[in-house]
Amino acid sequence: MKALRKFLDKKKPLFEKGGKFAKLQSTFDAFDTFLFVPDHTSKTGTHIKDAIDLKRTMSVVVLALIPSLLFGMYNIGYQHFLSVGETAALMDMFVYGLIKVLPIIVVSYVVGLGIEFAFAQMRGHAVNEGFLVSGMLIPLVMPVEAPLWMVAVSTAFAVVIGKEVFGGTGMNIWNPALVARAFFFFAYPSKMSGDAVWIAEKADTFSGATPLAHAATLVDANGEIAKSIFEQHLSNAWDMFIGLIPGSIGETSTLAILIGAVILIATGIGSWRIMLSVFVGGYAMGAIFNLIGANPYMELIPAWQHLIMGGFAFGAVFMATDPVSATQTTRGKYIYGFLIGFLAVLIRVMNAGFPEAMMLAILLMNTFAPLIDHYVVQGNVKRRLKRVKVKA
């Protein structure tokens, strides 16, 4: 460690003003502060001293994503061997998944960080660490068979249009990882939906549709057919909870996501208010549909099952809680979260074209988050003004 510090200190003057590589100052700074706690101090005014800066915050989130990632790798192997009808050892499944997932992660990080560094250099900013999390989230919401160049294009779009145009980390109005996924979904729909992309190298005869896709077919099915679809594909809630179902790499296992949620809540980084209200909102809409029961989708899927299907849990824990694009006020968080869950289930059931509605619901509410905050703050101001008048 000491040798590393010494090495960095020795090189530092090269990157400072007037040094040989002064242009690369922010790149150097990024690596330096990634490795060591930064020694920058504020020169004037009051400031809060806290060990947990942006980099540490981001590292915790990445840590919380690890269970989902590891389980995702295992599940990819599991689904593959299941589809071709072979039995394999646990380790084989995991290694198979690892080989499949690793390139996607590498592409996401290389492209995203490359653009991020380039922008920081051009603008003379310090490199922001926001992409550490986005770069991990992007692979986790991709189908395993996503072509790498499409991942690269989506990532580039997300970083440039989703983030840099607004001024970089902390200024974006949408969650960049979801922008990447939305771009992918609309640009290359054949690689993001259907039943061919969720299982790696699957046998042709094996249906690889996600439970959500099966559920979407319920809308037009009736009576016996609907029941048989449900029995065959949607009745095994335990598998959905554990995550042994086809789906995006990191989204399948509600269990692994909950472990991540515990980490986020325990460290105070993710907002439990948002997570809770997303689940409540989803359940509420599901329950309403159960009451209406206009088609088999509404009738047969119990409200709680919506919460463990598809990307609902993943979105609730990792996407909706993104501190930049979410609401900031306490009351706003409840409204924001509730509407995300509510809309996600609503879109899912009402529009078979968008089975994975969590992404759309979160992006939509991201857009409205500042508005919600505005009215919460204004409401508060009004209430307090009234109090003053009564006393006077």
Partner 1 sequence: MSNKEPLFSTKNKKLLTNPLGSDNPITVQVLGICSALAVTAKLEPAVVMTISVMAVLALANVIVSLIRNTIPSRIRIIVQLVVVAALVILVDQVLKAFAYDVSKQLSVFVGLIITNCIIMGRLEAFALGNKPLPAFLDGIGNAAGYGLILVIVAFFRELLGSGTLYGFKVIPQAFYDMGYQNNGLMILPPMALVVVGIIIWVQRSKDKSLIESN
Binding site for partner 1 (CB under 8 A): 147, 149-150, 153, 161, 165, 183, 186-191
Smallest gap from Cβ 216 to partner 1, in A, equals 20
- Which residue, 157 or 368, has its beta carbon nearer to partner 1? 157
The kind and range of the H/E element at 389 are helix 358-391
- Which residue, 186 or 238, has its beta carbon nearer to partner 1? 186
Q: Which residues, 6+ apart, have CB-to-CB distance to 245 below 8 Å?
A: 75, 210, 211, 239, 252
385 CB burial (10 A radius; 0-12, 13-18, 19+): exposed
- Which residue, 7 or 149, has its beta carbon nearer to partner 1? 149
- Which residue, 69 or 111, has its beta carbon nearer to partner 1? 111
Smallest gap from Cβ 179 to partner 1, in A, equals 11
Query: CB–CB of 337/187 below 8 Å?
Result: no
- Which residue, 94 or 184, has its beta carbon nearer to partner 1? 184
Report the C-alpha gap between 333 and 310 in whole angstroms: 23
Smallest gap from Cβ 165 to partner 1, in A, equals 6
C-alpha pair distances (Å), 310 with each of 122, 274, 358, 368, 375 = 40, 19, 8, 24, 32
With tokens 């250099």, the residue in question is: 121
Q: What 8-state DSSP symbol labels residue 273?
A: H
Smallest gap from Cβ 55 to partner 1, in A, equals 29
Q: How far apart are the first and last CA of the chain?
A: 65
Report the C-alpha gap between 340 and 323 in whole angstroms: 15
- Which residue, 191 or 233, has its beta carbon nearer to partner 1? 191
Smallest gap from Cβ 109 to partner 1, in A, equals 22
Smallest gap from Cβ 198 to partner 1, in A, equals 18
Query: CB–CB of 203/83 below 8 Å?
Result: yes
SS3 371: helix
- Which residue, 80 or 191, has its beta carbon nearer to partner 1? 191
User: Quick one: which of 258, 249, 272, 381 has its CA closest to 326?
Assistant: 272
Query: CB–CB of 335/327 below 8 Å?
Result: yes
Smallest gap from Cβ 356 to partner 1, in A, equals 16
